[in-house]
Amino acid sequence: MTTITCVEDFKTLYRRRVPRMFYDYAESGSYTESTFRLNEQALQDLRIRQRVGVDISRIDTATTLAGEPASLPIAFAPVGMLGIQHAAGEICVARAAERCGVPFTLSTMSICSLEQVAQETRKPFWFQLYMVKDRGFVRDLIQRAKAARCSALVITMDLSMLGQRHKDVKNGLSIRPGLRHLLNIASKPRWAAQMARTPYKTFGNVVGHAKGVEDLNSLLTWAAEMVDPSLTWQDIEWVRNEWGGKIILKGIMDSEDARIAANMGIETLVVSNHGGRQLDGAGSTIEWLPRIAEATDGRVELLMDSGIRSGMDIFRARAQGASGVMLGRAMVYALGAMGEPGIDRLVEILTKELTTTMGLAGVTRDADITRSTLATGAPSPELPHLRVAN
């Protein structure tokens, strides 16, 4: 495949180039995968109003996300093990995001560490924090994020218990591949050659930093034991005091939870069901987005993830109340397919799709994408230049 025109093309190439267990790790949901599938379908079910007779010679996709300028309303979501999807994956995406003028979020469970990503970039990035049982380790991560010049802390709220992904269990997903994995890896020589050459081969934020974690074997035991089911809103207050900077809460899927966060003074929330990887049977994020927007009544900025695959989807999310979207799987597809140039091409495609959608919907500024631009939204006022004089 030489011509990439959409996110689906990246996905096709990604599947050919990356070992099956890592493809399935990204392209799966929990249990029956009903929520995983619903995220995309619910977006497709929203109809965009086509408008004509508007001067669309200049279209501006620029906006701000969490107080930071962005060339279009997207941020790259925190995804664990990007450096396994492609060698130095986190650094690749961070550098491309910097060039493209959009935020990048580094996962706690990244291959490249905070310090390594900071060394390879100039622009501050966001850091995603998992609240594990070892609060000393959490405190250390926060201090490291400060030292790495991170401009926002993204706290994942919906991982206090792990949803089971059947594909991972059946594949025997492991960072220590067995014989059947090695046979599959042998059929992916491009990926294998990259991994053989890269110096980034461990979980840089954890190995050598968490207590008792000195290698990949001890990491597996640590990860299984550190999931914290006791996480409460009081822990978020503790993090706020330790961090002292901008906080984004990710994993909000209920109006009441959104109101609690708003009352605490949290300024940015991510409406997210973890890409359908946690609670199977939950609603889609695009379904819950307008309810949460109504419940918070403009007191918080809302981002949304899960199911975004096109510029049209970005438009739909903006119209339903999100300031922008976070890209997870679309980013993984592009990275696994083409590496760093794939991320550049992904942003180029999404920019073109969003610009075209805005123009054909009669919208020339990102700020003018509202619920009235959807067929299900309230009717928009008559355009002044189209009024017929009596």
Nearest alpha-carbon partner for 251 in 135, 141, 155? 155
Q: Which residues contact 123 (CB under 8 A, 6 or more apart)?
A: 98
CA 298 to CA 50: how far, in whole Å? 27
CA 390 to CA 94: how far, in whole Å? 57
Nearest alpha-carbon partner for 113 in 147, 136, 67, 70? 147
Of 86, 166, 181, 274, the active-site residue reads 274
CA 363 to CA 50: how far, in whole Å? 10
Within 13 Å and on the Cβ side, how many CA atoms surround 349? Answer: 20
Please say whether the beta carbons of 331 and 93 come within 8 A: yes
What is the residue type of 218?
S
In sequence order, the β-bridge partners of residue 69 are 64
Q: Is 385 annotated in the active site?
A: no
Q: Which residues contact 157 (CB under 8 A, 6 or more apart)?
A: 231, 249, 250, 251, 252, 257
Please say whether the beta carbons of 301 and 269 come within 8 A: yes
- Give the pair of three-digit tokens for residue 205: 């934020």
CA 123 to CA 306: how far, in whole Å? 26
CA 249 to CA 251: how far, in whole Å? 7
Residue bearing tokens 């991560």: 141
CA 364 to CA 383: how far, in whole Å? 13
DSSP-assigned states of every residue in 301-316: EEEE-SS--SHHHHHH
What are the residue numbers of the active site? 274
